[in-house]
């Protein structure tokens, strides 16, 4: 199962476009309203921003056959999407599922002959939608719309996830319904951060921690569950602090455009993160593996004797990584990829390539057969890596032509390496000024 997060923000997003608070000013990502696309065929909520978000992330909604609305609030229900679909003349049936507060807003947006089937649901319902079993659960939310908000336990042969937005502390019957589920992933709203006096049916950080703790106690959340905070607002602390606090619960903040894979889709997931100097590429790559309990960090830069500035860079990288991560320096990277048992982070391809050019003394001789052979071996190992892997590399093709032959050699070879690794990756992300841009597949 593949879950693309189309948005991870609250109704006003984060940052709020009208706000100048410290949290909004320091935000390094623009989060849209929370929604997700599952396996390209099922939408979890579809607010007014969701269709355009899919287009920005390189996804078509033409294959969507099911939309699951959680409740009728405006940021979760964008009925104009039904009109957009109508204009394409699509013939396949679309199942629109949700409580009355959501479906009531949608019915006037379809024509009498549109292939749309509305399915009203309530807590306790258990419905089959294509390849998915959907258990409908009670939420603590939406008194102003009749109190009919719901949550979804979504299961296929390829995984099981819990979509829990919007809600305050979960009702007792919901905890009972998910006990022992051992979800592959839980997407739990966390709207108000440190602001605990909001008086709304949402989670703040203490309530989020208590809910996750209760889900762990019941077996709904296991050690392997990816717990992702969504519906984030500017009431939260700045992102590094938010990430630290959520990690105390074994959780992490979600990111717009992030792809969460569970079940067979999670096996051998490969992601390439590109970026210029100080673009945030290493921090983003580390965040992609933040939910993993054990990660092997392949440090290709090595140790540079007598270079205190490099030593400080290495120290800061090491300080960021969890204690449970294992760092390997100067090893056979291709062999580590082929034999991986835990998720891998390779940082970075540029320093790996530099070492290979050094090894073959190709800077001056121009004899590149050995370097190309090493690239072939690395790409082949990346292709068959049996564990999830993330590689970091420098984007060097956007600047001026290097003034030296060695600079031009490195630029050209790294461009070739990046292109070949990207061709064997599930996701390619370009970091620009700390902002991740997911590059669509060709």
CA-closest candidate to residue 43, choices 91, 395, 33: 33
Beta bridge partners of 97: 68, 119
What's the rounded Cα separation, in Å, for the pair 240 and 247? 11
| Catalytic site includes residue 195 | no
Q: Which of 86, 317, 372, 426 is catalytic?
A: 317
What's the rounded Cα separation, in Å, for the pair 317 and 349? 16
Q: Are 99 and 122 in contact (CB under 8 A)?
A: yes
What's the rounded Cα separation, in Å, for the pair 258 and 182? 22
Q: Are 72 and 145 in contact (CB under 8 A)?
A: yes
Token couple for 333: 């990277």
Q: Are 357 and 413 in contact (CB under 8 A)?
A: yes
Start-to-end CA distance of the chain, whole Å, equals: 22
Token couple for 186: 């839980």
Instruction: Give the phi and the psi of residue 418 in degrees, each rounded to 5.
Output: -60, -40
CA-closest candidate to residue 232, choices 384, 54, 75: 75
* Residue 373 DSSP code: H
Residues 6+ apart with CB under 8 A from 76: 33, 34, 35, 45, 46, 47, 69, 70, 102, 166
Helix ranges restricted to H, 171-250: 172-178, 205-218, 239-247
What number of other Cβ atoms are within 10 A of residue 241's Cβ?
Answer: 14
Q: Are 337 and 270 in contact (CB under 8 A)?
A: no
Token couple for 82: 């039904």
Point out the residues that are catalytic: 317
């Amino acid at each position: 199962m593949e879950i693309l997060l189309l948005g991870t923000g609250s109704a006003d997003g984060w940052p709020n476009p009208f706000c100048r608070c410290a949290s909004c000013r320091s935000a390094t990502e623009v989060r849209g309203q929370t929604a997700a696309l599952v396996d390209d065929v099922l939408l979890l909520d579809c607010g007014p921003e969701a269709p355009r978000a899919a287009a920005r992330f390189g996804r078509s909604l033409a294959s969507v056959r099911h939309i699951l609305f959680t409740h009728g609030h405006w940021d979760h229900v964008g009925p104009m999407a039904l009109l957009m679909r109508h204009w394409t003349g699509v013939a396949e049936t679309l199942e629109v599922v949700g409580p009355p507060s959501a479906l009531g807003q949608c019915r006037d947006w379809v024509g009498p002959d549109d292939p749309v089937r509305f399915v009203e649901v309530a807590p306790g319902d258990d419905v089959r939608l294509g390849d998915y079993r959907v258990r409908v659960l009670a939420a603590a939310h939406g008194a102003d719309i009749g109190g009919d908000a719901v949550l979804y336990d979504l299961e296929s042969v390829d995984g099981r996830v819990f979509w829990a937005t919007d809600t305050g502390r979960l009702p007792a019957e919901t905890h009972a319904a998910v006990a022992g589920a051992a979800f592959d992933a839980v997407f739990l709203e966390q709207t108000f951060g440190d602001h605990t006096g909001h008086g709304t049916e949402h989670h703040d950080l203490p309530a989020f921690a208590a809910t996750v703790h209760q889900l762990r106690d019941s077996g709904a959340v296991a050690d392997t569950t990816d717990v992702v905070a969504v519906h984030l607002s500017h009431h939260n602390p700045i992102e590094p602090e938010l990430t630290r606090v959520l990690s105390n619960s074994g959780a992490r903040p979600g990111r717009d455009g992030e792809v969460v894979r569970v079940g067979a889709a999670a096996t051998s997931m490969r992601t390439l993160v590109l970026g210029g100097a100080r673009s945030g590429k290493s921090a983003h790559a580390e965040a992609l593996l933040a939910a993993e309990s054990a990660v092997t960090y392949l440090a290709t830069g090595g140790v540079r004797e007598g270079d205190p500035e490099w030593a400080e860079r290495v120290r800061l990288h090491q300080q960021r990584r969890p204690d449970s991560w294992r760092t390997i320096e100067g090893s056979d990277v291709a062999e580590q990829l082929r034999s991986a048992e835990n998720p891998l982070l390779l940082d970075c391809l540029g320093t790996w390539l530099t070492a290979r050019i050094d090894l073959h003394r190709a800077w001056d001789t121009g004899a590149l057969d050995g370097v190309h052979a090493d690239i072939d071996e690395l790409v082949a190992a990346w292709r068959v890596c049996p564990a999830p892997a993330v590689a970091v590399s420098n984007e060097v093709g956007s600047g001026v032509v290097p003034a030296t032959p060695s600079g031009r050699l490195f630029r050209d070879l790294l461009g070739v390496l990046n292109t070949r690794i990207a061709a064997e990756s599930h996701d390619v992300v370009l970091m620009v000024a700390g902002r991740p841009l997911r590059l669509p597949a060709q």
